[in-house]
Structure formats: C-alpha cells, structure tokens
Amino acid sequence: MTGIRIGQGFDVHAFGDGDHIVLGGVRIAHDRGVVAHSDGDVAIHALCDALLGALALGDIGQHFPPTDARWKDADSRTFLRHCVALAAQRGWRVGNADVTVICERPKVGPHAGAIRECLAADMGVEMDAVSIKATTTERLGFTGRGEGIAAQAVVLLVR
C-alpha cells in the first residue's frame, strides 16, 4: 500500500433562528443559527467526510446517523476526533488539511487563527498543517442570498 491517501468532503447547512454558529469548533456570534441535528459545524463535517473518504469508510451520516438521538446537538469535534482515531487505527495520520468556507456572512477571517488551533489540536498536527479559507459567492446562489453556509475540505493522510 502506498504511503499517502487523499480525501475530500463537502457540507451545507441552512441558516435558521439563532444567535451564533459553530465553525471549526469555534462559536461565532451571528444573527442567524444553523438548522442541523448536531451543532451544524459545516467545516468539521466536511473535514470528517474528507477523512472518511481518504479511508474509503463511507460518510459522516453512516457513522453518526441523524436519526440517532446521541448526536442531537452534539459537539462536532467528537466526530472529528473519532475520524482521526479511525485513521490512526489503520496506520494513518493527517499530513495536512485545507478547508474552504463559503458564505456571505459571518466573516471567517477574524476567526481563522482560533479555528486552525482547534482543528490542529483535534487532528494531532501542528497549526501550519491546517488551512482555513473563506469566500463569498458574490451574492449568487443560496449562499449569496444568505440562506445557508457551505464548506469543502481536502485532507492528506500519510503513513
């Protein structure tokens, strides 16, 4: 078996009532919340799917079914640490990860440092192995209309 694996993930949640969102494990004050079974952390959900993809182990909904009451309002960091443990059990560790968040608001840039710190801790890597970026869609589409937030992630696993 070769010494590297790559995976990618994508997640979307609709905005709903609330006064904050959780992104990359960090609580960010906002005039909307997200509609989700868990805490609705799109960055971590995309990262989990990237990890599970690299491992060819299905997707987040198969490991943490939205029909399971255990995951109601769950802290998504639990999911991320579980996916990293699944990788470790198979001899893999995270090489680096790159996440793009897609929304008009909130601004992600001011929180990037805290998010990278949080994700790096959960993945057992240095902060310089974790990238978080953000983009608007120039007011186009569902993110552009402020209806929801999306994230995509790419992860490299190494032996």
Ligand X SMILES: C[C@@]1(CO)OP(=O)(O)OP(=O)(O)OC[C@H]1O
Ligand Y SMILES: Nc1ccn([C@@H]2O[C@H](COP(=O)(O)O)[C@@H](O)[C@H]2O)c(=O)n1
Residues contributing to the site for ligand Y (CB under 6 A): 103, 107-109, 134-136
The closest alpha carbon to 158, from 96, 103, 102, 112, belongs to: 96
Piece of 1-9, 37-45, 99-107, 141-149 that binds ligand X (CB under 6 A): 37-45
Q: Does 38 bind ligand X (CB under 6 A)?
A: yes
Regarding 15 and contact with ligand X (CB under 6 A), the answer is: no
Confirm or reject binding of residue 152 to ligand X (CB under 6 A): no
Shortest Å, Cβ 40 to ligand X: 5
Determine whether the annotation assigns residue 78 to a binding site. Answer: no
Structure tokens at 65: 């079914």
Q: Which is nearer to ligand Y, 72 or 139 (CB)?
A: 139
Whether the CB-CB separation of 92 and 57 falls below 8 Å is answered with no
Note whether 7 and 22 are within 8 A (CB).
no
Of the candidates 99, 94, 88, 92, the residue with the CA atom closest to the CA atom of residue 8 = 99
User: Shortest approach of ligand Y to residue 53 CB, angstroms?
Assistant: 25
Helix (H, G, I), strand (E, B) or coil at 46: helix
CB contact at 8 A, 64 and 71: yes
Task: Provide, rounded to whole angstroms, the least separation between the CB of residue 67 and ligand Y.
Answer: 31
Q: CB of residue 133 vs ligand Y: minimum separation in angstroms?
A: 7
Of 31, 30, 80, 28, nearest to 52 by C-alpha is 80
Rounded to 5 degrees, φ, ψ at 57 are -115, 30
DSSP helix/strand/coil, 2: coil
Q: Is 138 a known ligand-binding residue?
A: yes
Q: Quick check: 106 binds ligand X (CB under 6 A)?
A: no
Binding site, annotated residues for a divalent metal cation: 11, 13, 45
Binding site, annotated residues: 11-13, 37-38, 45, 59-61, 135-138, 142, 145
**Residues in the site for ligand X, rule: CB under 6 A?**
11, 36-38, 40, 45, 60-61, 64-66, 71
